[in-house]
Structure 1
C-alpha cells in the first residue's frame, strides 16, 4: 500500500508547484516592468503624488496595475511554457501601454485633474483602462 508521500496527488503537486512558481514569477516580473514603464511614460509622477497623499493618483495607479494584470493573467492562462508566457506577456503589455496612452490622449485633461486630486477623473480613467484590459484579455483568449 503506497504511503501518503508516494500518492499520485502529492507527486503531481511536487512536480507542478515549482513550475507554477516559475510561471507566476515571470508574469509578476513582466507586470513590475510594465508598471515601471507606465510610471515613466505618464505626464505626471504618480508615485510622488501617492507619497504626498493624493488619493486620485493612488486609485488611478491601482487601476493601471489591475489593467495590466488582466491581459497578463489571460496570457498566462493561454500559455504552456516560459517562451509563450514571455511573448504573450510582452505583447499584451505593449498593446495595453499603447491603449493606456491613447486613453490619456483621448481623455485629455484627466491626468492633470488626477494630479489635482480629483476622484471623478481617476474613476473615469480607471474605468477606461479596465475596459481596454478586458477587451485585450478577451482577444488573447481567442
Structure 2
C-alpha cells in the first residue's frame, strides 16, 4: 500500500519543481520590469512595497496552482505558467496607467499605492486561476 501511495511522488516532484522555477523566474522578471527594486524596499521595511509584492506573488501563484491541477503535461503546465506571468505584467502596466507615479509612491511608502497594486495583482490571479479550470 505504501508503494502504491508513492507512485505519484515523481510526478509530484516534477510539477512542484517546475512550479517553483516558474515562480522564481516570474519574480526575477517582474523585479526587472518594475522601475522600483522590490527586494531592496522590502528589506528596508517598506510596507507599501511588501503589500504590492506579496499581492503579486500570491496573484501569480494562484494560477500556477490551478495550472498544475489542470495541466495534461509539464509542457502544458509551463505554457499556462508563462501566460499567468504575462497577465501579472499586464496588470502592473494597467495599474501604472491609472497611477502614473506608482513606483515613486511605493518607494515613498504610500500604503494606498502598494495595497492597490497588490489587490489588483491578487484579483488578476484569482480571475486567471478560475479561467484556467478548463
TM-score (norm 2): 0.90
Task: Give the equivalent residue in structure 1 for 2:57.
Answer: 65
Counterpart CA distance in 2 for 1:99 and 1:70 is 15
Task: Give the equivalent residue in structure 2 for 1:126.
Answer: 118
Gaps of 5+ in 2: none
Picking from 43, 54, 74, the partner of 1:82 is 74
**Map 1:41-56 → 2, pairs under 5 A:** 41-56=33-48
Q: Is the 8 A contact 1:59 1:126 kept in 2?
A: yes
SS of the equivalent of 1:141 reads coil
Q: Is the 8 A contact 1:54 1:117 kept in 2?
A: yes
TM-score (norm 1): 0.86
1:20 aligns with 2:12: yes
SS of the equivalent of 2:7 reads helix
Gaps of 5+ in 1: 1-6
**CA displacement 1:90-115 (0-9 Å, x = unmatched):** 12212222222222222322322111
Runs of 4+ that moved beyond 3 A: none
Q: Which has the higher contact order (CA 8 A, sep 6+)?
A: 2
Choose 1 or 2 for highest CA Rg. Answer: 1
Q: Is the 8 A contact 1:72 1:93 kept in 2?
A: no
